[in-house]
Amino acid sequence: MAGPLSSLKVLDFSTLLPGPFGTLILADLGADVLRVESPTRPDMVRMLPPMDQGISAVHGYLNRSKRSLALDLKRQEAVQVVHRLVQDYDIVVEQFRPGVMERLGVGYEALRAVNPRLIYCSITGYGQDGPYRDRAGHDLNYLAIAGVTSYNGRQGSGPAPMALQAADIAGGSCHAVMAILAAVIHRQQTGEGQHIDISMTDAAFSLHALTAPQALIGGDDPQLERTQLNGGSFYDCYETRDGRWFSVAGLEPQFFVQFCQAIGRPHLAGKGLAMAPEIVAELKAEIREAMKEKDFAEWQAIFTAVDACVEPVLSVSEAAQHPQLEARGMVVEVPAGDGVQRQVASPFKFSKTPPSYRFAGGQPGAHSEAVLAEAGFDEAAIEALRKSGAVL
């Protein structure tokens, strides 16, 4: 069954994580995503271990269901191929620094001249304008400038990197997908395409849902371990006797009461909403002491039977085997070469148009000939493109 986005055709010029994760979402939901890759400058993700049948498992996941066309955009013949493709593939995703696509002859204005309905999404660290538009950066830098890193970490050790790439994925990937789909709706209503400018720093800044109002209106900036959700309350992780951890998050009084009873400290129930540092310190010290009285498995048995918003801190491998994630089908087997590859599934659940997984990401240019033939190039033209070095 075709996915909900099966009418969309996307040219994906992106590499690394933000763009590819965004187009993975689109591909899982049925969009025809064609990766345009350089034959001379491979995506660094292709080199990340482990390798599965000669292909990086990370690449296989991020680029599943996407076909690959290897073009050397420094050759005019390759640029002409893009101009022909964009007549049909009317959504473009790119992740170069501002101006690079223009210099290659495949910028928004050049491609809009070919197809006025084009939706062209540019994902960058800082955006298409502003004093930082040409500055290099990574996820940690974007989160730092956006104010996120300032209250992520511990007072004793200072700000810390996040485990997940929040600016890249929550900022770049997810906001790009939302913007593209909004632009598709706009085009359906007006016939107009447009250029979308996604800054991962902007998007990260917009994620201060509970803290920006206090800072912007009251001048109260969040500090390390001083908000209710960053360690400034009992809402935190606690170690067991055998060195494992549990997350304790029952902020609501009815949940905290159950937690306190479960750990044998019912007298703590009235302190759950405390934010005074001295009271929080005493409360957390008692919780730490209680949690170290039993091993992980013992607490697991206790809290499985208690609805108190307390859950074990699992490794990725353990999470994949958790009964809830198993029931939701969050690990799937995707065709890959002569076998299959275990991958994280799409989190979207549709009653009529479920996600599909056609194949894992493969070799660069694996679909070049088929794609060019579909675009109207005959055998002689395809061979000429190969001989010129424009196509791999």
Here the tokens at position 2 are: 């075709």
Per-residue pLDDT tens digits for 37-90: 999 998 999 999 999 989 999 999 999 999 999 999 999 999 999 999 999 999
Which amino acid belongs to residue 60?
G
Clarify whether residues 96 and 188 are in a common domain.
yes
Mean pLDDT, the chain, integer = 97
- SS3 of the chain: helix, strand, coil, percent, to 5: 40, 15, 45
Clarify whether residues 72 and 200 are in a common domain.
yes
Choose, from 138, 195, 208, 322, the residue flagged as catalytic: 138
Q: Residue 227 — pLDDT band, cuts 50, 70, 90?
A: very high
**Active-site residue flag, 168:** yes
Clarify whether residues 56 and 168 are in a common domain.
yes
Clarify whether residues 57 and 188 are in a common domain.
yes
Clarify whether residues 353 and 271 are in a common domain.
no
User: Could you give the CA distance from residue 140 to residue 124 in angstroms, rounded to a whole number?
Assistant: 14
Whole-number pLDDT of residue 260: 98
Q: Residue 2 — pLDDT band, cuts 50, 70, 90?
A: confident
Clarify whether residues 117 and 189 are in a common domain.
yes
pTM of the model: 0.95
Clarify whether residues 270 and 345 are in a common domain.
no
Per-residue pLDDT tens digits for 115-140: 999 999 999 999 999 999 999 999 99
Clarify whether residues 334 and 305 are in a common domain.
no
User: Could you give the CA distance from residue 361 to residue 289 in angstroms, rounded to a whole number?
Assistant: 48
For the chain, state the CA radius of gyration. 25
User: Could you give the CA distance from residue 70 to residue 363 in angstroms, rounded to a whole number?
Assistant: 10
> How many structural domains comprise the chain?
2
Tell which residue, 79, 243, 215, has the closest CA to residue 150: 215
Contact 43, 14 (CB under 8 A): no
Clarify whether residues 306 and 333 are in a common domain.
no
Q: Is residue 352 part of a domain?
A: yes
Tell which residue, 259, 361, 240, has the closest CA to residue 308: 259
Per-residue pLDDT tens digits for 176-206: 999 999 999 999 999 999 999 999 999 999 9
Q: Is residue 380 part of a domain?
A: yes
Clarify whether residues 332 and 291 are in a common domain.
no
Phi, then psi, of 292 in degrees rounded to 5? -85, 5
- Distances 358 to 111, 312, 332 between C-alpha atoms, Å: 29, 34, 12
User: Could you give the CA distance from residue 229 to residue 256 in angstroms, rounded to a whole number?
Assistant: 15
Question: In the listed set 312, 344, 365, which residue is the last one of a domain according to the structure?
Answer: 312
Q: Is residue 212 part of a domain?
A: no
CATH of the domain at 98: 3.40.50.10540
Contact 123, 198 (CB under 8 A): yes
Q: Is residue 276 part of a domain?
A: yes
pLDDT at 1 over 70: no
Q: Is residue 191 part of a domain?
A: yes
Question: In the listed set 253, 277, 312, which residue is the last one of a domain according to the structure?
Answer: 312
Here the tokens at position 9 are: 């055709």
Q: Is residue 3 part of a domain?
A: no
pLDDT at 280 over 90: yes
Tell which residue, 346, 390, 349, has the closest CA to residue 372: 390
User: Could you give the CA distance from residue 121 to residue 373 in angstroms, rounded to a whole number?
Assistant: 26
pLDDT at 28 over 90: yes
Clarify whether residues 26 and 143 are in a common domain.
yes
- For 308, the domain range is 245-312
Choose, from 32, 168, 202, 236, the residue flagged as catalytic: 168
Clarify whether residues 305 and 333 are in a common domain.
no
Here the tokens at position 251 are: 């902020």
Q: Is residue 320 part of a domain?
A: no
User: Could you give the CA distance from residue 357 to residue 335 in angstroms, rounded to a whole number?
Assistant: 8
Contact 82, 73 (CB under 8 A): yes
Which whole number is the average pLDDT over 310-334?
98
Question: In the listed set 286, 312, 338, which residue is the last one of a domain according to the structure?
Answer: 312
Q: Is residue 321 part of a domain?
A: no
Which amino acid belongs to residue 89?
Y
**Active-site residue flag, 138:** yes
Which whole number is the average pLDDT over 293-306?
97
